[in-house]
C-alpha cells in the first residue's frame, strides 16, 4: 500500500511528494503513538515535530519533541513490553507500557527499526526509514 507525505525541501523551501510502501492503518497507528508519546513528554504548548527526509532509496520519518528527554541507560529498553522510564508519570498518564513495543513490531513488519536519540532536559527524536514508493507517472518518465 502506498502512503504519501509532503516533506519540505530545506534548500528550495518547496514541498516534494513522498510515498512509502507500508500499510496505511499500521503506519497511522505507529505515528499516532509516537506523536502522543512526544506530546506527553513535553510541556503544554511545546512543539512536536514530524519530519519526512530523503535517505537514499528510503524516506526517514522522525518525531521529535522538546520534552524531558530520556536517560541514556533507558534507551535500549524503550521497546520492551511494559518498560517505563518514569513509572510514576506513566501511571498518572494512563499508559500501559506497550505502546513503543507495538510501534517496534509495526516498524519491523515494514522492514524498519525504531531509532531513539535523546538528551535529558532537551528532548527526544524517534526515527525510522521506509522504502520509497515510485509513482506510476514517475515510472513512465524514466
pTM higher than 0.85: no
Cell reading at 142 = 524514466
| Range 116-119, long-range pairs (CB < 8 A, 24+ positions) | 116/70, 116/75, 116/78, 118/69, 118/70, 118/72, 118/75, 119/69
Q: In which residue are the cell numbers 513488519 written?
A: 109
SS3 label, residue 61:
strand
Q: Which of 104, 106, 83 is nearest to 95 (CA)?
A: 83
- pLDDT tens digit at each of 142 positions of the chain: 333 444 445 555 556 677 887 888 999 999 999 999 898 888 888 889 998 888 998 999 999 999 989 999 999 988 888 877 776 655 555 566 788 999 999 999 999 999 999 999 999 999 999 988 765 544 444 4
Amino acid at each position: 500500500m502506498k502512503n504519501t507525505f509532503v516533506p519540505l525541501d530545506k534548500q528550495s523551501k518547496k514541498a516534494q511528494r513522498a510515498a512509502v510502501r507500508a500499510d496505511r492503518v499500521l503506519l497511522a497507528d505507529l505515528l499516532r503513538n509516537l506523536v502522543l508519546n512526544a506530546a506527553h513528554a513535553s510541556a503544554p504548548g511545546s512543539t512536536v515535530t514530524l519530519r519526512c527526509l530523503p535517505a537514499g532509496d528510503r524516506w526517514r520519518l522522525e518525531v521529535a519533541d522538546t520534552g524531558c528527554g530520556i536517560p541514556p541507560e533507558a534507551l535500549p529498553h524503550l521497546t520492551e513490553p511494559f518498560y517505563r522510564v518514569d513509572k510514576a508519570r506513566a501511571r498518572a498518564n494512563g499508559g500501559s507500557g506497550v505502546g513503543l513495543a507495538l510501534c517496534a513490531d509495526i516498524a519491523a513488519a515494514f522492514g524498519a527499526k525504531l531509532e531513539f536519540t535523546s538528551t535529558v532536559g532537551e528532548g527526544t527524536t524517534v526515527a525510522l526509514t521506509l522504502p520509497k514508493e515510485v509513482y506510476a507517472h514517475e515510472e513512465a518518465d524514466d
